[in-house]
Chains A and B, each alone.
Chain A
Amino acid sequence: MNRLPTPAPVVTPTTQAFWDATSEGRFMLQHCVACDAVVWFPRNHCPECFSPELSTFDCSGHGTVYSYTVIRKVANAYKEATPFVVAYVELKEGPRIMTNIVDCAPEDVSVGMAVTLVFHDTGAGNALYRFRPTSQ
C-alpha cells in the first residue's frame, strides 16, 4: 500500500550518486576514511573532521522511529494523503534521517518501533526511501 505521493527530489551533482543508487533499491551512506564517521546527509567533506576522503557503503535498511508526527492538513502535493506520518528514523548505522512511515495506520506508529526500508519509485530515475513496520 502506497497512498503517498512520490515527488521527485532535488538532485545536485553532490547527491547524484545517492539518488542513482535508490533506483537500484540501495540506500547509500558515506563513510569518512580519515575519522571513521558515518556521514549524513551526503556531501563532499566529512562534517566531523573536514576530510574530503569519503567512501560509500549500503545501509542495512533497519532502524527505529526516533520521533514522528501525524500531519493532519497540508496545502502541498500531500493534501489528499492526510493524515500521514513524517518521522525521524534512527538507522542501525547511526544517522537519524527524515522520512515517512508507511504501510500502517498513523495511530499504530510509536517512538522506538522497529522499521524497515522500502523504496517508492518517483518516475524520475530515482526512488524515495520510506520505512514500514518491521514484520515480526
Chain B
Amino acid sequence: MQPRGTEPMSIRGAAYVAGIYEHPGRDLPTHTIWDIHTEVAMGALADAGLSMGDVDALFCDGTAGFGVLTLCDHFGIRPKYVDSTETGGSSYLAHVGHAAAAIAAGKCSVALITLAGKPRTGSPPVQWAQGPESGFESVWGMAGAPHSYALAAQRHMYEFGTTSAQLAEIKVAASTHAQYNSNAFLKNVVTVDEVLNSPLVADPLHRLDCCVVTDGGGALVVVSPEIAKKLGKTQAKVLGHGEAVKHTNNGRIDLTYTGAVWSGPLAFEEAGVSVADIDYASIYDSFTITVLQTIEDLGFCEKGKGGEFVMDGALIAPFGRLPFNTDGGGLSNNHPSNRGGITKVIEAVRQLRGEAHPAVQVPDCQIALAHGTGGSLGSRHGSVTLILGQHDA
C-alpha cells in the first residue's frame, strides 16, 4: 500500500447530484436575484429531501453580490466550505467538480450550488475590472457575445467548409425538443430556412443561431455517498470532471477549437468511459457554433466534420446519434442570467433519472455528459466537462 496522501485521487463515485431545480420563470420582473437564489435553493433541496440547515458547503459564481459572503448572509447559513469559481456560464459545472473533490477530501457532505440572474428585467450588467487586454479589444465596436462567437464561426467555415445550413440544424434540433417543454421560452419548432432567413446579427451568425435571453436560475445539491444512501431516491453519480481555460495564447489564438479539447479527455479519463458510452449529452449552446465546435473537440466526430455530423437529425432525441439538450437548451428553452451551465447539468440529471419529457427521454440513459463554455470563443473562455452516471454506474 502506498503511504497515505500519495494515492492518485479521483472524484469518480465520490459524490452524487441528489437535488436539481430549474426556475420555471423566464420573465421575472418582480423578483430580485436574491429571491430567485432562494427559490432555486429551496427547490433543489426539497428535490433532494434535504433542508437549508443540512447545507455545509456553498458554491456560486462571481456575479452574486460579494459571492458566497452575500449568499451565506442572505440564506442564513454558516457553511464550512465555500467556492466562487467564476468561469462564466461554465462555472456551475466546475462547481460540481469542485464540490465532489471537497466531499472526497472530507471537507463537506452537502454542497449547494445556485445561479440567478435577470438580464430581461433588470439585473444591472456585471461590472468586471478591466483586464490587461482591454485597451486592445474594447475599441473596435464589439458589443456582445455574438460578435466574438461570429469570429470563431467564420474561421471554422473557412478552414473546414462548415455552412450556415449545418449550424442551423443545431437550432432545429433544440427547437424540436423545446416543443415538449411547457416552460421553454421559445416553444416553436423552426426549420433550417427559418434560421437562414432570420436577420444576420454578426456574419455569419443569424439571430436564430443565438441563445435566448432569460431571467431565472437553477440550483444543484451535491452530496456524499453516505448522505446519498440515506436519501434513498434516484440520484446521478459524479463520474468525472475536467476543466480548462483557453485564451489568446500570446497572439496565437486559434478560433477553430475550444477548451473542450483539454477538459474532455480529463473528464473521460476520470470517469473511465469513452464517447461511445455517452447516451445523452447536454452541450453548451450559447450559439450554434459553440455546439458544433464542442462536439468535435469532445471527440464525437473528427475535427472539422462537425457540420456533417449534425445533419440528418443526429442531435434529435431519443434516437439521433447524439441526443442533446432535450429541454430545448439555451437556443430555445432557457439561458438564465446569460449563463447556460446549470441547466445543462439539470437536464443531464433528468435524463439519468428517466424524468425527461417522454417524447425526448433517451431509453435506459446510463451515462450522460454535460459541457459548459463560459466567456468568449473569440478571445478567452472556460471549458468544463462533467460526466454523470446512473446511481449504480
List residues of chain A with CB under 8 Å of any chain B CB: 4-5, 7-12, 14-15, 19, 37-41, 43, 47-48, 66-78, 81, 84, 86-88, 94-100, 106, 111-112, 128
Q: A76 near B253 (CB under 8 angstroms)?
A: no
- Give the distance to chain B from A120, nearest Cβ to Cβ, in Å: 10
Known: A67-B154, A86-B151. A98 touches B135 (CB 8 A): no
Expressed in whole angstroms, the Cα–Cα distance for A74 and B379 within the complex equals: 19
**B residues in contact with A75, CB < 8 Å:** 143
Contacts of B147 in A (CB 8 A): 69, 71, 86
Give Cα A72 to B144, complex, Å.
Answer: 12
- A41 and B133 contact, CB distance less than 8 A: yes
Question: C-beta contact mask, B226-253 vs A, less than 8 Å → 1, else 0?
Answer: 0000000000000000000000101111
- By a CB distance below 8 angstroms, the chain A residues around B250 are 37, 39-40, 47-48, 95
Nearest B-chain residue to A11, judged by Cβ: B135
A39 CB to nearest B CB, Å: 6
Interface size on B, residues (CB 8 A): 35
CB within 8 Å for A94 and B251 given contacts A72-B199, A76-B141 = yes
> Using Cβ atoms and an 8 Å threshold, which residues of chain A touch B138?
9-10
Say whether, besides A11-B135, A19-B135, A67 and B141 are in contact (CB < 8 Å): no
Closest to A91 in B: B251
Please list the residues of chain B having a beta carbon within 8 angstroms of any beta carbon in chain A. Answer: 130, 132-144, 147, 150-152, 154-155, 158, 199-205, 248, 250-253, 255, 379
Asked if residues A72 and B252 are in contact (CB atoms below 8 Å), the reply is no
By the criterion CB–CB under 8 Å, are A70 and B203 in contact?
yes
**Closest B residue, CB atoms, query A68:** B154
* Among B142, B152, B255, contact of A86 (Cβ-Cβ < 8 Å): B142
Whether A94 and B203, one on each chain, are in contact in the complex, defined by CB atoms closer than 8 angstroms, is no
A67–B151 CB distance below 8 A:
yes
| Residues of A with C-beta under 8 A to B202 | 69-72
Residues from chain B with a CB closer than 8 A to the CB of A48 are 250
Q: Which residues of B contact A19 (CB under 8 A)?
A: 135
Query: Which residue of A9, A15, A68, A87 contacts B139 across the interface (Cβ within 8 Å)?
Result: A9
Q: Which residues in A have their C-beta under 8 angstroms from that of B252? A: 94-96
